[in-house]
Structure 1
Amino acid sequence: MRTLLLLTPLALLLAACEEGEITIRLTDAPADDLTRFEIGLAGVDIEHEDGDTTRFDFDPPRVIDIVPLRDGNSITLIDAARVDADDYRAVQLRFEPPTNTGGGRPAARFNGDQLDIRYEEEEARFEVEFSIDDFDSENLLLDLDLRRSVRENDEDIGNARLRFIPQMRAVVTGDAGAIAGTLGPNVVNRAQCSPGVYVYEGFDQSPTTLGSDDPPLVSKVPRNVNITGAPYRIEAIDDGEYTIAVTCDAGIDDPDPDEVEADVNFIATANVRVRAGQTVTRDFP
């Protein structure tokens, strides 16, 4: 049985003010060999627990180079926007290929190759549960994993293009920590070592490749590699238990499940416990 209440004008005004704020930022788990990867973003949506959607449109669409958004760098997509106080369950990005990328192609490699981007999906939805209370605020971080999002086969190579199939994680910033450490000389000085650090949910997990049915949660290829070692840092890891795996075959790990899977060997693993707001350190000498 429902009870009907007669609300005064003041009560109606207060009921209408049940809002909070949301800020959404974008970061990148970078691809190995790209110096530029410009995407067009038409908008961001947040999905309520009941299935309703709050939309944020970009007019004109924003052009964002994903490559610089690494090693803790990020860009703000939504800044302290007012939204209903409610429970939410997902974030969605809406893509639109940019029509102006400064006169050049939207993607480039270290060797100077200029490439087009073919969008395989117009939208990408990522589950993340969060609540916004009245007069409260929440911060989300979207981690776009370019290592798994960029695909290329023989046809793409012939057409000087990359295929973009967005793979992303969405985390509540206040619930996340980080993993950092150094790959030491015993790792980086192995013959023809292309080092990479892979993270899997749960303790004692068997490491898998990017193109497997159960790929890593996130992976990282250190940039500053020399004979003394290679520091790495992986941001936006939810509070929980994880397995870290290290490989020297990151350079041949193909994220496309339709390609022949490369022989990727993992040389070390370790369990780590990540806590919100903290950085756990794990070195591999």
Structure 2
Amino acid sequence: MQRTLFILAAGTLVAACGGSSSDNPAPQTGDVQLSMTDAPADDLTQVQLTLNAVALKPAQGSMIRRDLDEPLVIEDLLALQGAKSTVILPTTEVPAGRYNWIRLYVQSGDGNTYVIDDNGGEFPLYVPGQQNNQNRERHVQLVSGFVVPVDGEVNFTLDVDLRRAITKPTNKDYYLLRPAIRIVDNSKVGIIQGTISDSLIDDETCTSVMEGDTVQGNAVYLYTGRDAQTGDVFVDDQGAAIDSDNPVTTATVNYNSGNDAYEYQIGFVPEGDYTLAFTCQALDDMPDTDDNLAFSAQRNVSVTAEQTEIADLPKEGVIITP
């Protein structure tokens, strides 16, 4: 297993003159690994992200930053949907204890970080402020605490919700990446997957469109709690939910020709109770506005760690008339 070590700027492992090793015990440490997955974005066929560095902020002490030997190029975030992920920080020894946030340093310019839309157009993707100075280092920051246990190891996945995170300013020739990221402990998550009935896909209220061999605009939204109130994605400039009925995450519905079925999968879901809701109007969901989406079916589901829950839609008795 690859293993790296953050070098601390402060402190020493060698006793000072007149002291002893017992006066300066070795710091308590643990191991952390970070991976990345994503929830989908509409109207885009590719999202490339290039990272220069990753930083962690202990609750006590200075920020710990790791500059990557070579920039990490994730050629297509859209390929990391469902239960797929890629490692962005290999197993790394850090001081044990509570941490306040994670930063991802994004490299722009020269085709490093960009999107390709449904029409084949390529546009740079910037962290807000980076569009004014492409060589300026910028980061997205996940403000969500976590703990690294003494002599233990934790594996976290960062879920970049592209439907929340990516926006195109009006009349601009670039996109912006907001810090719409959630962190989950891989030992405490499960998977939800299932099928969507053809009648829901073909409903006359749908605004989905055919792009090549795929239909875009069909999606399953996930909400915390049973019988939750459903709503669209509506976030501020930092990617934070404005309304209480924002989904936790979303999943694209794709046609599987082998099974002759429309299927979805949501990975990295923490243990607990949830509400699933299907909409065929996801193309109308603009993250900067409060949109009135129609959800044509929903059901409850309970998630157990390291288990896959099958949750087909619709389910008898839970069809919702738009």
Shared fold (TM-score greater than 0.5)? yes
- Is 1:141–1:171's contact at 8 Å kept on the other side of the alignment? yes
Q: Residue 32 of structure 1 is aligned with which of 37, 42, 54?
A: 42
Instruction: Report the equivalent of 1:222.
Output: 253
Structure 1 alignment gaps of length 5 or more: 1-6
Q: Quick one: distance in 2 between partners of 1:175 and 1:76?
A: 18
- Is 2:83–2:268's contact at 8 Å kept on the other side of the alignment? no
Any idea what the Cα deviations from partners look like across 1:87-144, whole Å, max 9, x if unmatched? 223322222314344xxx8221233222222321633222444322332111010011
* 1:187 aligns to 2:200 (yes or no): yes
- Is 2:142–2:179's contact at 8 Å kept on the other side of the alignment? no
Q: Quick one: distance in 2 between partners of 1:12 and 1:179?
A: 52
* 1:252 aligns to 2:284 (yes or no): yes
Instruction: Report the equivalent of 2:297.
Output: 268
Q: CA deviation at 1:183?
A: 0.8
Instruction: Report the equivalent of 1:204.
Output: 227
* 1:109 aligns to 2:117 (yes or no): yes
- Is 1:108–1:115's contact at 8 Å kept on the other side of the alignment? yes
Sort the Cα spacing of 1:98 and 1:21 in 2 relative to 1 into closer, same or farther, 3 A: farther
- Is 1:23–1:139's contact at 8 Å kept on the other side of the alignment? yes
Any idea what the Cα deviations from partners look like across 1:191-221, whole Å, max 9, x if unmatched? 3453211111122211111126232110112
| Residue identity (%) | 27
Let me know the Cα RMSD of the aligned residues: 2.6
Matches within 5 A, 1:70-81: 70-81=81-92
Q: CA deviation at 1:86?
A: 1.5
Instruction: Report the equivalent of 1:3.
Output: none
- Is 1:61–1:98's contact at 8 Å kept on the other side of the alignment? no
SS in 1 for 2:79: coil
Q: CA deviation at 1:269?
A: 2.0
What is the aligned residue count? 269
Q: Quick one: distance in 1 between partners of 2:30 and 2:203?
A: 52
Q: Quick one: distance in 2 between partners of 1:197 and 1:268?
A: 10
Q: CA deviation at 1:236?
A: 1.1
Any idea what the Cα deviations from partners look like across 1:23-75, whole Å, max 9, x if unmatched? 10111112123222122322212222336422222255433232222232222
- Is 1:37–1:107's contact at 8 Å kept on the other side of the alignment? yes
Matches within 5 A, 1:1-285: 9=21, 11=22, 15-16=25-26, 18-50=28-60, 52-65=62-75, 66-101=77-112, 106-120=114-128, 122-156=138-172, 159=173, 161-191=174-204, 192=206, 193=208, 194-211=217-234, 213-214=242-243, 215-224=246-255, 229-257=261-289, 261-285=290-314
Instruction: Report the equivalent of 2:5.
Output: none
- Corresponding letter in the other structure for 1:107: V
- Is 1:127–1:170's contact at 8 Å kept on the other side of the alignment? no
Q: Quick one: distance in 2 between partners of 1:77 and 1:198?
A: 26
Q: Quick one: distance in 2 between partners of 1:52 and 1:29?
A: 32
Sort the Cα spacing of 1:169 and 1:177 in 2 relative to 1 into closer, same or farther, 3 A: same
Sort the Cα spacing of 1:177 and 1:200 in 2 relative to 1 into closer, same or farther, 3 A: same
- Is 2:31–2:93's contact at 8 Å kept on the other side of the alignment? yes
